[in-house]
Amino acid sequence: MNLDPQIQAALNQWLGSEYDAETQQRVQQLIDSQDEKALVDAFYKKLEFGTGGLRGIMGDGPNRMNKYTVGAATQGFANYLNKTYPQGNIKVAIAFDSRNNSQYFAQIVANIFSANNIKVYLYEALRPTPQLSYTIRSLQCQGGVVLTASHNPKEYNGYKAYWNDGGQLLTPHDKNVIEEVNAITSVTQINFEPKAENIELLGEAMDRQYRMALKGLSLDNGFVATQNDLKIVFSSIHGTGITQVPQTLKLWGFNNVHVIEEQAEPNGNFPTVVYPNPEEEEAMTLSLQKARELDADIAMACDPDSDRVGCAVKNHQGEFVLLNGNQIGSLLVHYVLTRKSESQAFSGHDFVVRTIVTTALVDQIAAQFNIPVYHTLTGFKYIGDLITKLEGREKFLVGGEESYGYMVGDLTRDKDAIVSCAFIAEMTAYYKNQGKSLFDALLDMYAQFGFYREKLVSITKKGKEGAEEIAAMMTKMRQNPPSTLGGSKVVVIKDYQSLKSLNVSTGQSESIDMPKSNVLQFITEDGSTISARPSGTEPKIKFYCSVNSPLDDKSKYNETAKILDQKVDALMGDLIGEN
């Protein structure tokens, strides 16, 4: 093999005595296999923080999740915390999900923080990601870590780092932590030896506190008691949701919850699904089967770390249909604002948040209630950061992103499937009390505000070559942007990397007031929007499309949906086909 000198140097380092004998042996076996592609992918770079933190395939090498990459990330984080808070008394919280090695990695993280004289609150067993965010805020920690790869395939694991507000690391902290990590050039700089006195285990007491805090957000005024036998199907898809969702639903007054037992046992191999992602219909198969058997009112499922939730409802033909992230998010926004309005509970300083690739239907709904909507970059850390920046001056009510992540109330700074499940059940009870299903509420919303239809297309490009292909696609779209999409003229091009919004007809540009991000957005004359964004956590480039039209007659929902779907396909075909 004729490997790049940088890759060969990394291989030589991992064969050195700094690394344990088992690691050296596995690396040598990989070299002996002559699998050049595997060697390049594992050793050509270091894992970097993206929109979701550190995430990668588990294995040996600097571009893999293992004891040493997790160790270097933690030592760098610890160094940064100690420099930022030189007075000491630093506290961090740590949680982990059901993935293979998550608990192992969590213990390594706890050990390293403790060794660096940092107080550690470590959950004794798996817990949801949003609970980690709540814990940081509740215990007034300076930081935190959750070991999870969210909804990625079983080969992956990840490391989400959090700051003192309970939100994921943002500039300048993320870059500063990376600098500290990059300054670690030898494994000997990582202090793996724990100080046991600095580690405290968390369990049921914090669980109860979190659930009670969530209960305080409920907007129920008695209708849940009327509908307490609402038939709810829930699946944790072998993840952390089982530790909190059934308990939270019971606390909120729902007594007829049917857990999918085949998926209730935490298991990092996710044996009943291809991908543990509630965005995928396949992952909802067992939930849908149970919902049909029971004639349920709602079926819900969380991803392994319980920051995303998907749900299914029965349509007018009696079939269970999956709602997408934009639909769930819009329903939540409409429900929360409706109930706040009915109870005259607006503060006068309220706001809603969505990301730039989330449906504009949210804006239409909020305008009806005279509530402002702020837009952020993709990634819930930007939503959390905005809530923190406005804290004390404005009050966050509800918001989220199209990728099945939502939050109601400001108890955490990360998307929360636990509170989302509770609110989805609550709004289902609210509408049922009026003789309506959640599907009826969806159609009512479209009839009032416009029928918005969205689609996401993800193109996977793995490894070093894939990353280069994705970069080339973005460069091509910037240098040769389309003039028309789906038969409609492109009138505005927004480039979040240059932070310029170009009016195509006048040639005039306006500044975009956001952090830089590698996102392109094309807006057409007929009000359609299509966005291109390389993922920060997966080897993918994602294309998001949104179209809309009036829905004057709710009986024409299926017919209108078909027309809008054709329009989406035409737009997507034009942009992706050229690339």
Token pair for 115: 């060794």
Query: Rounded to a whole number, what is the distance in angstroms from the first to the last CA of the chain?
Result: 33
Distance CA 365, CA 338 (A): 10
| 353: enclosing H helix or E strand | strand 350-355
The owner of tokens 């709710």 is 554
3-state secondary structure 65-99: ECHHHHHHHHHHHHHHHHHHCCCCCCEEEEEECCC
CA 317 to chain centre: 32
Token pair for 143: 């930081």
Distance CA 416, CA 214 (A): 10
The strand pair at 488-495 and 500-503 is best described as antiparallel
Distance CA 138, CA 323 (A): 33
Distance CA 228, CA 249 (A): 10
- What does the chain come to in residues? 579
The strand pair at 119-123 and 199-202 is best described as parallel
CB 249 within 8 A of CB 425: yes
Token pair for 120: 């550690």
Distance CA 52, CA 65 (A): 14
Distance CA 42, CA 240 (A): 29
Annotated active-site residue in 114, 133, 138, 150: 150
Strand partners, 400: 354, 406
Token pair for 88: 């000491």
Residues contacting 577, CB < 8 A, separation 6+: none
Distance CA 352, CA 361 (A): 12
CB 134 within 8 A of CB 218: no
Report how far apart, in Å, the C-alpha atoms of 73 and of each of 68, 161, 542 are. 8, 9, 27
CA dihedral 187, 188, 189, 195 (to 10 degrees): 110
Strand partners, 106: none
How many other CB atoms sit within 10 Å of the CB of residue 204?
Answer: 8
Strand partners, 57: 156
Say which DSSP state 53 is in. B
Report how far apart, in Å, the C-alpha atoms of 365 and of each of 345, 519, 525, 553 are. 17, 26, 22, 19
CB 2 within 8 A of CB 39: no
Token pair for 107: 């213990």
SS3 375: strand
Annotated catalytic residue 236: no
Active site residues: 150
